[in-house]
Amino acid sequence: MVERGHAEPHDDPRGLGTGPASLAVRRPAVSADRLIGELVPPPRFASARFSTYLPDPAEPSQSAARDLLAERSAAWSGRGGKERGRRGLLRRGGSGAAEGRGVYLDGGYGVGKTHLLASLWHETEGPKVYGTFVEYTNLVGALGFGPTVAHLATQRLVCIDEFELDDPGDTVLVSTLLTRLAEAGVQLAATSNTLPDQLGEGRFAAADFLREIQGLSARFTAVRIDGRDYRRRDGASAPEPLSDETVRKYAEGGLHTAPVPGLGGERFLDAFDPLVTHLSTLHPSRYGALLDGVASLGLLGLLPVEDQNAALRLVVFVDRLYDRSIPVLTSGVAADQVFTPELLAGGYRKKYLRAVSRLISLTQAGSALVA
């Protein structure tokens, strides 16, 4: 398996050389080679397999989706087997036929879609790539459209996590990209919180790009996965914010000085608002490299984000934290208040709620470090 790469050298992570390390002074450079090398499941899902997926017994769609993907993996790897699980996985509209080449996992956040997609990648024989929707658009930006198609067309399987259309340019680009890959015989698998024929709704004039959106929909068999957010099945809510003093002391090594289990690296400390501002100066493709060597992150003064652009950047940043299982210790407001009610009522609601769910999980891990 290709391991995710390392960033090029950063500026001095400690700024003036004193105090805890800070993300806000880092400006990582990310090469095209790194972007290609990182097209594998992130560390959190490095050991994901169909056998380790734990479906909710009350939601048969979860085990049915697992069985279907296992059968697809076997078929694509030449191990044979019939796709017996398809009958219980109905496309919207009641058709059980597998229309299109790919599989599109649709469902709410926290039902295990990413775990299943990573399992499909791990258990399907290569060549293969795995990345988020944002990572693929970043790759096109770094390599150009033609070289990206040429590279991806050599793969047996392309997995796309968190498939989303946020603007018309992405709609046309991805529609063309997937058309080229399908014509080259590449197998496609994707996850999203939105059905393919509803992509873009509430975000831009989707009706003006209906042909592209319908073309994307035709590339996939949509598989619905229902259920509760597994990260909160036990009823756990966002932990109480810590004090500034506690967050700072931990970052400085004054509390629980043992390394974070399973992670090397340093403890970082940043004020939330300046960090959000710093994210606006970096392309989202650099957020993963920004977290190289980070064992834990202390955030002072968490507060609700009102600006939509800042909020969307924060979603990507939280995803990269979650990919790496980095505990987060926060003061200020609770993690479930980081996006304003106005943002949560808009077209990106599902994206924000997924980020909140993931941030709650990370802050629970952070709070446990100083419990």
Q: Could you report the per-residue pLDDT of 154-171, keeping only the tens digit for each?
A: 999 999 998 876 666 666
Regarding whether 208 and 73 lie in a shared domain, the answer is: yes
Residues 221 and 245 in one domain: no
- The mean pLDDT of the chain is 81
* 293: containing domain: 236-369
pLDDT in tens, 55-95: 989 999 999 999 999 999 999 988 754 443 333 333 333 33
Q: Which tokens in the block code for residue 220? A: 């996939």
Q: Which of these three, 179, 211, 228, is where a domain ends?
A: 228
At residue 330, φ and ψ (nearest 5 deg) are -130, 150
Cβ neighbours of residue 225 closer than 8 Å, sequence gap 6 or more: 59, 61, 62, 65, 105, 106, 107, 111, 112, 113, 116
Domain boundary among 210, 228, 246: 228
Both 179 and 300 in one domain: the answer is no
**The last residue of a domain, from among 228, 249, 277:** 228
Query: What is the C-alpha separation between 253 and 294, in angstroms, rounded?
Result: 14
Provide the residue type at 225 as one letter.
I
> Does any domain span residue 331?
yes
Q: Quick one: 121 and 175 in the same domain?
A: yes
Of 235 and 172, the structure prediction assigns the larger pLDDT to 172
Q: Are residues 216 and 269 in the same domain?
A: no
Tell me if 32 is assigned to some domain. no
Same domain, 152 and 240: no
Q: Which domain CATH number covers 72?
A: 3.40.50.300
pTM over 0.85: no
Query: How many domains does the structure of the chain reveal?
Result: 2
Inside any domain, residue 155: yes
Contact between residue 314 and residue 23 where contact means Cβ atoms under 8 Å apart: no
pLDDT confidence band for 16 (50 / 70 / 90): very low
Q: Is residue 313 domain-shared with residue 365, that is, in the same domain?
A: yes
Do 66 and 177 lie in one domain? The reply is: yes
Strands across the sheet containing 220-225: 128-132, 157-161, 187-192, 102-107, 220-225
pLDDT of 6 strictly over 70: no
Q: Is residue 21 part of a domain?
A: no
Q: Which of 64, 31, 39 is nearest to 50 (CA)?
A: 64
Residue 27 is assigned to a structural domain of this protein? no
Please tell me whether residues 220 and 244 are part of one structural domain.
Answer: no
The two structure tokens encoding residue 267: 């403890």
- In this structure, is residue 145 part of a structural domain? yes
The answer as to whether 10 is a domain residue is: no
Q: What is the pLDDT of residue 164?
A: 74
Considering only CA atoms, which of 237, 259, 240 is closest in space to residue 330? 240
Residue 131 and residue 64 share a domain: yes
Whether 172 and 274 map to the same domain: the answer is no
Per DSSP, the three-state class of 161 is strand
Query: 199 and 55: one domain?
Result: yes
